[in-house]
Amino acid sequence: MTDFIPLFPIKLIVYPGELLNLHIFEPRYKQLIRECDENGITFGIPAVLEDEVMDVGTEMELLEITKHHETGEMDIKTKGIGLFKIQNFHELVTNKLYSGADIRRIKLIEDGQPKINLEIIDALEELFELLKIEKNTVLEPESMSTFDIAHQLGFSLDQEYEFLNIFSELERQNYVLDHLIRTIPILTDMEKLKAKSRMNGHFKKIIPPNL
């Protein structure tokens, strides 16, 4: 079974549960958002990679129009509520300015393990310490979703889209843990190299061995 939703394609990956604030200024998207507001409908954000609209995207709920500008532009708050796969893409919807698609909603598999989340949290804290990033958010292993931290892992846009296409939480946990396990030693070696480079030109006290 397919459903139709209007589309807002952008070069951005949005994950389920993510809050996204947008400034709407193009006529086609001003029309789209007005209709979502008036009719209580959702819209889809499919990623655009190398100027191509990807098949998998995130269904978005309009939470609030926070500001109407005199120009007709809008500031809005939205939230990702689920994933979909495009079955038929309509570059221009009849009598509309925007594109749309017939989509099939994707059911996510909630098979994550809190024990693995604990490992992820420990590795993530180590990563932030290496990068000298302060994070105030407390992650709870029992309730945490890997989608909650996906933008904090240093993924490329292609990797973020690859991650979006993993529908099992357990598989996403393993993907994240593997990424962190590979990344942290690289960053550790870089920190050692920087420390060594800072010593160049300094006077060194070297104690020779007793031969």
At 9, which CATH number?
2.30.130.40
Q: What is the mean pLDDT of the chain?
A: 91
Residue 200: predicted pLDDT: 54
User: Does any domain span residue 207?
Assistant: no
Q: Are residues 8 and 95 in the same domain?
A: yes
Q: What Å distances lie between residue 95 and 31, 44, 101, 132, CA to CA? A: 11, 19, 15, 52
Quick one: which of 127, 135, 125 has its CA closest to 183? 127
Domain end residue (candidates: 63, 89, 106):
106
CA distance 203 to 181: 36
In the chain, the number of structural domains is 2
Query: What pLDDT digit, counting tens, does each position of 147-176 carry?
Result: 999 999 989 999 999 999 999 999 999 999
Task: Tell me which of 196 and 100 has the higher pLDDT.
Answer: 100
User: Does any domain span residue 208?
Assistant: no
User: Does any domain span residue 210?
Assistant: no
Q: Are residues 125 and 100 in the same domain?
A: no
Q: In the structure, what pLDDT confidence band is assigned to residue 207 with cuts at 50, 70 and 90?
A: low
Q: Are residues 85 and 167 in the same domain?
A: no
Least confident of 16-30, 31-45, 54-68, 190-204: 190-204
Query: What pLDDT digit, counting tens, does each position of 33-78 carry?
Result: 999 999 999 999 999 999 999 999 999 999 999 999 999 999 999 9
Q: Are residues 94 and 135 in the same domain?
A: no
* 196 C-beta neighbours (distance < 10 Å), count: 9
User: Does any domain span residue 21?
Assistant: yes
Residue 121: predicted pLDDT: 95
Which domain covers residue 195, as residue numbers? Answer: 114-199
State the pTM of this model. 0.86
User: Does any domain span residue 45?
Assistant: yes
Domain end residue (candidates: 106, 136, 153):
106
